[in-house]
Amino acid sequence: MQEHLSIQLSVQQLSKRYRTGEGVASISLDVRKGELVTLLGPSGCGKTTVLRSIGGFLEPDSGDILIEGTSVLKSPPEKRPTSMVFQSYNLWPHMTVFDNLAFGLKIRKMKNADIRKAVDDVLRLVRLPGAERKFPAELSGGQQQRIALARSLLLKPAVLLLDEPFSALDAKLRHEMREELREIQAETGLTMVFVTHDQEEALSISDRIVVMNHGHIEQVATPQDIYDRPQTLFVAQFIGKMNLLKGVISEGEAIVGQLRFPNSKSLAGEVRLAIRPEDVILSRQADAAAAQAATQTAAQAEEGLPGVVKQIMILGHYAEVTVQSREHGVIRAFRPRDAVKELTSGDPVLLRFKNVHMFPEVEVHV
């Protein structure tokens, strides 16, 4: 997203604590106009607290919330320029789809002809044209969630809030709804704040992701940056699959077995190294020995962590190879399917790493 776009939503030093001790502390976040920002984190991390505070369903202990430059803190939910799509569809079962959608517009004293056109337009937008005479019970879960989304879109909110809206749907429908939400956002230019605990969902639909943990923000970045450049051990562990190895800093390098890595963060003592499975390179020890004989460089043959192949799972175009390392436990590698044709369970291998993320050794709560 472009930096020059105006700030549509500004959360400033927001704090809200519950008696249980859970909640959020000093959360600050700016969302630009037309941006889709996802709050991502485990249960109890505070993401829904932030969303409900923006919508007016919770009163923060301190801080401020500005929409289009104006504080909405003292406004009730119905007076805020926001609209919320919940996990449960919240449709009135005794009303037709048309009446469910028209209800909010009638309250706003809109003319009947304008209401009918707006409902027709929004039903086309959510790919349910002609559904206005049906009752909610006649619709599938995915269709009901589309109607709930349409109802929020009709209110033309300055910020659309979505609280795990697709979590009750099956995997295929969830995938379809994500794509449709992205298309709707592109068409309407709406600013959206989306809450999920599903990292795949967050990576697939967001302009930026806000990773939360224990009531604070760990990192705010694009999906690509969150995946490629995690700033904390928690983010590294929470987003995507990751191998975690213990290392130690010595003479300005991080040492794991016979492997050495530059200490770019100037860490000291014990460290954690995080390596994506796709950054694990493995070679059979017999092949490494042959390479040594050919080049006469003992270091080349020794470089790597020794392990034994436990399992090879073919997952479409790539394979997941599980390796048991004596000192470092199980290490997973994603390799092209053709690259593991010669490998079998029980083969001794050497592991090397293309890209390593390094963090101080700390207790991690996931």
DSSP string computed for 285-353:
HHHHHHHHHHH--HHHHH-SEEEEEEEEEEETTEEEEEEEETTTEEEEEEEEGGGGTT--TT-EEEEEE
Q: 364 pLDDT exceeds 70?
A: no
Residue 365 scores a pLDDT above 50: no
Residue 300 is predicted with a pLDDT of 44
Beta strands 192-196 and 36-40, pairing class: parallel
**Domain final position from 205, 237, 269:** 237
219 plus 107 within the same structural domain: yes
Q: Supply the CATH number for residue 224's domain.
A: 3.40.50.300
Q: How confident is the model at residue 4 (pLDDT cuts 50, 70, 90)?
A: very low
For 228, the domain range is 7-237
Q: Are residue 228 and residue 285 in the same domain, yes or no?
A: no
Whether residues 260 and 338 fall in one domain: yes
Q: Are 340 and 320 in contact (CB under 8 A)?
A: no
208, part of any domain: yes
Q: Does residue 106 share a domain with residue 26?
A: yes
Length of the chain measured in residues: 366
3-state secondary structure of 71: strand
Number of domains in the chain: 2
CA atoms in the 13 A half-sphere facing the CB of 110:
18
Instruction: Give the pLDDT of residue 342.
Output: 83
Over residues 47-62, the mean pLDDT reads: 94
Question: Quick one: pLDDT band at residue 56, thresholds 50, 70, 90?
Answer: very high
Average pLDDT, the chain: 87
Contact 277, 335 (CB under 8 A): no
Single out the residue in 179, 206, 237 at which a domain terminates: 237
User: What amino acid is encoded at 173 in this protein?
Assistant: L
Is residue 194 located within the same domain as residue 256? no
Q: Which of 227, 270, 257, 210 is nearest to 351 (CA)?
A: 257
CB 355 within 8 A of CB 225: no
Neighbours of 264 (CB within 10 A): 9
At residue 315, what are phi and psi to the nearest 5 degrees?
A: -120, 75
Q: Given the DSSP bridges, would you call strands 159-163 and 192-196 parallel, antiparallel or unpaired?
A: parallel
What secondary structure letter does DSSP report for 137? Answer: G
Show Cβ contacts of residue 112 under 8 Å, excluding neighbours closer than 6 positions: none
Do 133 and 18 lie in one domain? The reply is yes
User: Would the pLDDT of 192 be above 90?
Assistant: yes
Looking at the fold, whether 95 and 75 belong to one and the same domain comes out as yes
In a domain, 194, yes or no: yes
Q: Last residue of a domain, which of 237, 260, 278?
A: 237
What pLDDT score does 2 carry? 46
Residue 155: which of 82, 216, 246, 229 has the closest Cα? 82
Return d(Cα 250, Cα 260) in angstroms, integer: 9
The reply to whether 83 and 35 lie within a common domain is: yes
Segment of 75-79, 114-118, 170-174, 275-279 carrying the highest mean pLDDT: 275-279
Which pLDDT belongs to residue 301?
Answer: 46
CA–CA separation, 361 and 249 (whole Å): 11
Non-local CB neighbours of 61 within 8 Å, separated by 6+ positions: 15, 16, 17
What CA–CA distance (Å, rounded) separates 351 from 306?
6
Q: Is residue 366 part of a domain?
A: no
In a domain, 51, yes or no: yes
pLDDT at residue number 357: 92
Question: For residue 316, what is the domain's CATH number?
Answer: 2.40.50.140
Q: Is 148 exposed, middle or buried (0-12, 13-18, 19+ CB in 10 A)?
A: buried
**Is residue 83 a contact partner of residue 63, using CB atoms and an 8 Å limit?**
no
Same domain, 261 and 203: no
Cite the beta strand spans of the chain per DSSP E. 7-17, 23-32, 36-40, 62-67, 70-71, 82-85, 159-163, 192-196, 208-213, 216-221, 243-250, 253-256, 259-262, 270-275, 280-284, 305-315, 318-325, 329-336, 348-353, 357-360
Residue 1: inside a domain, yes or no?
A: no
Same domain, 162 and 283: no
Residue 156 belongs to a domain = yes
Model confidence at 363, pLDDT cuts 50, 70, 90, reads: very low
Assigned domain for 133 exists: yes
Contact 39, 84 (CB under 8 A): no
Residue 297's pLDDT band (boundaries 50, 70, 90)?
Answer: very low
Four-point Cα dihedral 279, 284, 287, 293, nearest 10: 90
Q: How far apart are CA 92 and CA 148, in angstroms?
A: 10
Q: Are residues 249 and 230 in the same domain?
A: no
Count helices and strands (H / E) in the chain. Answer: 10, 20
CA distance 238 to 199: 8
pLDDT for res 293 = 52
In angstroms, what is the C-alpha Rg of the chain?
A: 26
The span from the CA of 344 to the CA of 321, in Å, is 10
221 and 270 share one domain: no
Tell me whether residue 2 is in a domain: no
Q: Which of 9-23, 106-120, 158-172, 296-310 has the lowest mean pLDDT?
A: 296-310
- Predicted TM-score of the model (pTM): 0.86
